[in-house]
Amino acid sequence: MAKQLVHPGDRVYYRPIHGIEKEVVIHSFAQNDANLVIVHYKEGMKVIRKTVRLSD
């Protein structure tokens, strides 16, 4: 299965293990692993920065 190509600034959907799916913005790629991206999303007034693994 080919990897989905994503770029910083893209909006993707992220589903936490417990919780509802939310739209997040890709900020950058984590180092040394193309499957890890750093995403930003707003929760109220706070911007949350999280490293997440891309799924196929």
Q: What is the mean pLDDT of residues 27-45?
A: 83
Whether residue 23 contacts residue 16, with contact meaning beta carbons closer than 8 Å, is answered with no
Q: What's residue 51's pLDDT?
A: 86
Nearest-CA neighbor of 37 among 48, 46, 47, 49?
49
Mean pLDDT in the chain? 81
Q: How many CB atoms lie within 10 A of CB 22?
A: 15
Nearest-CA neighbor of 29 among 6, 48, 13, 55?
6
Q: Is pLDDT of 36 > 70?
A: yes
Q: What's residue 4's pLDDT?
A: 58
Cα–Cα separations (whole angstroms), residue 34 to 18, 28, 47, 53, 54: 24, 10, 23, 9, 9
Q: Is pLDDT of 2 > 60?
A: no
Q: What's residue 56's pLDDT?
A: 57
